[in-house]
A and B are shown apart, each in its own frame.
Chain A
Amino acid sequence: MTDQSPFVDIRHAQKSFGTLEVLKDISLQVQQGEIVAIIGPSGSGKSTLLRAINDLDPLTGGEVWLEDMQVNKALPHRQYEAHINKVRQQIGMVFQHFNLFPHLTVRGNITLAPRMLKGLSAEEADKLAEEQLAHVGLSDRIDYYPSQLSGGQKQRVAIARALAMQPKVMLFDEATSALDPELVEEVNLVMKRLAEAHMTMIIVTHEMGFAESVCDRVLFMDEGVVVEEGPPSVIFHNPQNERTRNFLRKHLADNNG
């Protein structure tokens, strides 16, 4: 891939709650098709950074750009609302706790936004839902309610729901943290396939093995700053920074202990 202007561009992101600074001047450029993992201890600000990309947690300073469009543009309330809804349709997001809509079936969950926002007919949306479910291997569950699915299945439906909007970028906020260990792999597999299809992905995760095998680049964050970033081979096997080494050592010990 030739060097081009970044696809997602975070410039000097700054965020504070009162006197507490959660993000301290963070910049991150992601190219189209690139897969970036963000790791770090809890409270390091990694989720906040991810949620700033679609302005779910608005920044207190700095800019976020998606291609040639500024996400967190300062606009009068009404215009901002219209603008951000357009932007968010192009950014898919997957949550730790799935956040499927419990009163709708799997079909309803997937077709709701395309029908409401893209004006798809019922048939078109149904076809779309079937396609997306086939991708995540859940075609037979289309008329189930979320409460009838396992955690892994719920998360796969959540991914299908996000993909049905044909987003340019996918954000994953600890997508497997709430799952039982034996269900993690099915979700990882879906994400791997997405990666192979060259989806641009930004992944906040605790799964170091997964980050290493799938991602092009890893950021290690701590206390609101990016401590170290580089290819997985360097970050995981030859980290330069003391804090990165400590974190990885501790993480390894926790997971084996």
Chain B
Amino acid sequence: MASALLSFFGGILFAVIALHGPWFIRLPVRFFAWLFMGTPLLLQLFLIYFGLVQIGIDLPAFVAGVIGLGLHFAVYNSELIQTAIIAVDKGQMEAARTLGLSRGQALRKIVIPQAVRDVIPPIGNNMIALLKDSALVSVIGVSELTLTAQLAIGRTYRPFEFYVVAAVCYYIINLGLEAVLRRIERRVQAAR
């Protein structure tokens, strides 16, 4: 949940920076995005969890997991939002500037709301992917669903049942998310 929020707002932030920021911020952000899109999430989780310790920041595994998942999906969301921002008609920015709005105001009030509306379905899909990938943080020792199943297995030696139960839990959450997403989509469609 925390990761989802981080990935959503981080995505918007990255998108705006990647498109409109000054070059000395824009380039590192683009490089960072390129790095995160080209390597596996699991590897990134290791880097964040163990890497921060190396430079003297000892984060609990949960926080590292949230940051890792959040950043990873923020990068993916940012790509979607960038495309959407570019796709918003140029006339929208012009009309807003003509009324006297500054570039930042026009982005915030006119362009970004339209872009976000256009990317709700694909971002929703990313959220669902995020839910599933949250299983990965079990590897760095966050006690979520997957790790809980592992612990139960350690006690009972019945891996098949417990993993299937865990899978069913994920599946149910997933179905719920999809239903919510479809609802939001329909609502947004109406306001077009």
Residues of A within 8 A of B (CB): 54, 56, 81-82, 85-89, 91-93, 95, 97, 99-103, 112-113, 116-117, 145, 147, 158, 161-162, 165
Contacts and interface: CB of A to CB of B under 8 A. Distances in A.
Contacts, number: 64
Contacts of B117: 103
A66 to B, nearest CB: 13
Contact of A165 (B89, B96, B99, B192): B99
For chain B, which range describes its interface: under 10, 10 to 19, 20 to 34, or 35 or more residues? 20 to 34
Contacts of A85: 97, 100-102
Interface string B79-103: 0000000000101101111111111
A117 B99 contact: yes
A24 to B, nearest CB: 25
Contacts of B113: 103
Contact of A113 (B89, B94, B100, B114): B100
Contacts of A82: 102
Closest 4 A/B residue pairs (Cβ): A89-B100, A99-B95, A99-B91, A113-B99
Contacts of A145: 191-192
Contact of B97 (A88, A92, A97, A100): A88
A221 to B, nearest CB: 22
Contact of A97 (B91, B96, B98, B192): B91
Contacts of A158: 95
Given A95-B91, A102-B192, A103-B117, A54 B99 contact: no
Contacts of B94: 56, 95, 99
Given A81-B103, A145-B191, A88 B91 contact: no
Contacts of A116: 101, 105, 109
Given A88-B100, A91-B98, A100-B95, 17 more contacts: A54-B98, A56-B94, A56-B98, A81-B102, A85-B97, A88-B98, A93-B98, A95-B91, A95-B94, A95-B95, A99-B94, A99-B95, A116-B101, A116-B105, A116-B109, A117-B101, A165-B100
